[in-house]
């Protein structure tokens, strides 16, 4: 297998196993001892007979893969159709409480502007949930360059999440995966990685201010929030001796369902354990508690893009649902990407 294909497979399999394993703890509000998490993920699952089910995070990631492969290009309406199909095929995958309404309106009203239902959410504020960021990794595999990726990640997010924090979270998560695809282990430089994301975040946050009066743009937050600012705080965490103290990390970054908490938590989990292994990053992400399936899935996507599928534990690949399909999606998106470039 080529090194690039290894990374493509790592991205989608990483996102999938993070979701499946993290789901065991989703909603545990406090931090979880690292040892307890590794007991579960490294031995507790050994005797499981049935595949460990994936949740909405992977259902939506799969929908993006299907649309890309069906259309052989990025098409936002097709993306919306695939989300709706995937949701109504199995609404019990643990979706966010509000996003189902968007899928209902997309199905029942078939609006000309497919971003309209999302813009009606939360009294016109739009959702700041992490549901756009959690599914975005296939777009990093598909895109020709960072600019294209930022544009399609934004379009994709707007189908369900109109709040600027939901949209920007998706763009930053997508760029984190893209960047990790282009670094060969063990050469990760945590500060450089975060600095790159700060630069991207500053640019998009600057553009948001310029575009604030255009219709169809994401809604502005009622309280200003800056991903660039949050990632600067993340850098500070590295300087502190207690950086691995999960309580401090959660206090600083958060671990909740909001994109502005889950995306920084996922990036931090990758970089903090990025010198060690794929599984350390994912286990660490789960140990932060809170929205564990989603934080671990996003960490898994970034870490898998960096380490490649060969470094994902064999036990995890054998126990999680639909790993083989994730590999087929990765291979086909790899081919599509080769054709596009």
- The least distance separating ligand F2R from the CB of residue 251, rounded to whole angstroms, comes to 20
Q: Choose from ligand F2R, Mg ion, none: what does 18 bind? Cβ within 5-8 Å by kind.
A: none
Is there a binding annotation on residue 55?
yes
- The least distance separating ligand F2R from the CB of residue 195, rounded to whole angstroms, comes to 28
- The least distance separating Mg ion from the CB of residue 127, rounded to whole angstroms, comes to 13
- 279 binding Mg ion? (CB under 5 A): no
How far is Cα 306 from Cα 11, in angstroms, rounded to an integer? 8
Report whether the peptide linkage leading into residue 186 is cis, meaning its omega lies within 30 degrees of zero. yes
Is there a binding annotation on residue 293?
yes
**Closer of 193 and 225 to ligand F2R (Cβ):** 225
Pick from 93, 84, 86: nearest CA to 62: 86
Q: Most distant CA pair in the chain: distance in Å? A: 56
The conformation of residue 160, written as its DSSP 8-state character, comes to T
**Closer of 143 and 294 to ligand F2R (Cβ):** 294
Q: Choose from ligand F2R, Mg ion, none: what does 122 bind? Cβ within 5-8 Å by kind.
A: ligand F2R
- 294 binding Mg ion? (CB under 5 A): yes
- The least distance separating ligand F2R from the CB of residue 157, rounded to whole angstroms, comes to 10
Is there a binding annotation on residue 291?
yes
Q: Choose from ligand F2R, Mg ion, none: what does 274 bind? Cβ within 5-8 Å by kind.
A: none
Residue 147, both tokens: 């600019």
- For residue 53, CA distances in Å to 9, 23, 98, 143, 256 come to 19, 8, 22, 29, 21
**Closer of 44 and 94 to Mg ion (Cβ):** 94
For 330, other C-beta atoms within 10 Å of its C-beta total 25
Residue 224, both tokens: 């200003």
99 within 8 A of 127, measured Cβ to Cβ: yes
Residues forming the site for ligand F2R (CB under 6 A) = 26-27, 55-57, 94-99, 122, 125, 127-131, 134, 163, 257, 291, 293-294
Pick from 305, 338, 284, 252: nearest CA to 22: 284
Q: Choose from ligand F2R, Mg ion, none: what does 82 bind? Cβ within 5-8 Å by kind.
A: none
The conformation of residue 42, written as its DSSP 8-state character, comes to I
Residue with tokens 């206090």: 251
Which string of x and - marks every residue 71-100 that binds Mg ion (by CB under 5 A)?
-----------------------x------
Helices and strands counted in the chain (H then E): 17, 0
**Closer of 56 and 279 to ligand F2R (Cβ):** 56
For 24, other C-beta atoms within 10 Å of its C-beta total 18
Segment 39 to 68, residues that bind Mg ion, using CB under 5 A? 55-57
**Closer of 179 and 291 to ligand F2R (Cβ):** 291
**Closer of 121 and 130 to Mg ion (Cβ):** 130
Is there a binding annotation on residue 57?
yes
Residue 158, both tokens: 């707007």
Tell me if residue 50 falls in helix, strand or coil.
coil
How far is Cα 234 from Cα 265, in angstroms, rounded to an integer? 9
**Among 43-51, 106-114, 215-223, 289-297, which window interacts with Mg ion (CB under 5 A)?**
289-297
Q: Which residues are annotated as a binding site?
A: 55-57, 291, 293-294
In the complex, the residues that contact Mg ion under the rule CB under 5 A are 55-57, 94, 291, 293-294
Residues tagged in the binding site annotation for Mg(2+): 55-57, 291, 293-294
């Amino acid at each position: 297998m080529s090194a690039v294909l290894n990374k493509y497979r790592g991205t989608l399999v990483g996102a999938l196993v993070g979701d499946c394993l993290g789901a065991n703890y989703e909603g545990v509000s406090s931090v979880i001892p690292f040892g307890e998490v590794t007991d579960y993920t490294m031995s507790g699952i050994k005797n499981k007979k049935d595949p460990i089910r994936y949740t909405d995070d992977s259902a939506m990631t799969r929908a993006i893969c299907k649309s890309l492969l069906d259309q052989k290009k990025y098409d936002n309406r097709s993306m919306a159709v695939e989300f709706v199909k995937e949701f109504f095929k199995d609404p019990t995958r643990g979706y966010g409480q509000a996003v189902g309404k968007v899928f209902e309106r997309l199905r029942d009203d078939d609006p000309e502007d497919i971003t309209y239902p999302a813009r009606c959410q939360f009294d016109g504020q739009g959702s700041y949930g992490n549901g756009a960021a959690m599914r975005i990794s296939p777009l990093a595999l598909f895109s020709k360059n960072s600019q294209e990726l930022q544009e399609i990640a934004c379009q994709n997010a707007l189908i369900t999440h109109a709040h600027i924090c939901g949209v920007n979270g998706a763009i930053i998560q997508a760029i984190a995966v893209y960047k990790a695809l282009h670094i060969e282990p063990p050469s990760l430089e945590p500060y450089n990685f975060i600095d790159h994301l700060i630069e991207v975040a500053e640019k998009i946050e600057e553009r948001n201010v310029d575009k604030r009066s255009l219709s169809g743009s994401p809604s502005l937050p009622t309280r200003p929030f800056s991903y660039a600012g949050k990632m600067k705080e993340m850098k500070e965490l590295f300087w502190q001796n207690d950086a691995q103290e999960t309580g401090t990390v959660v206090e600083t970054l958060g671990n909740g369902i909001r994109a502005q908490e889950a995306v920084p938590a996922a990036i931090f989990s990758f970089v903090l354990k990025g010198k060690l292994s794929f599984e350390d990053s994912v286990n660490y992400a789960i140990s932060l508690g809170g929205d564990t399936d989603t934080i671990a899935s996003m960490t898994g996507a970034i870490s898998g893009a960096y380490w490649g599928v060969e470094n994902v534990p064999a036990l995890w690949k054998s126990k999680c649902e639909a790993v083989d399909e994730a590999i087929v999606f990765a291979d086909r998106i790899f081919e599509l990407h080769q054709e596009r470039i």
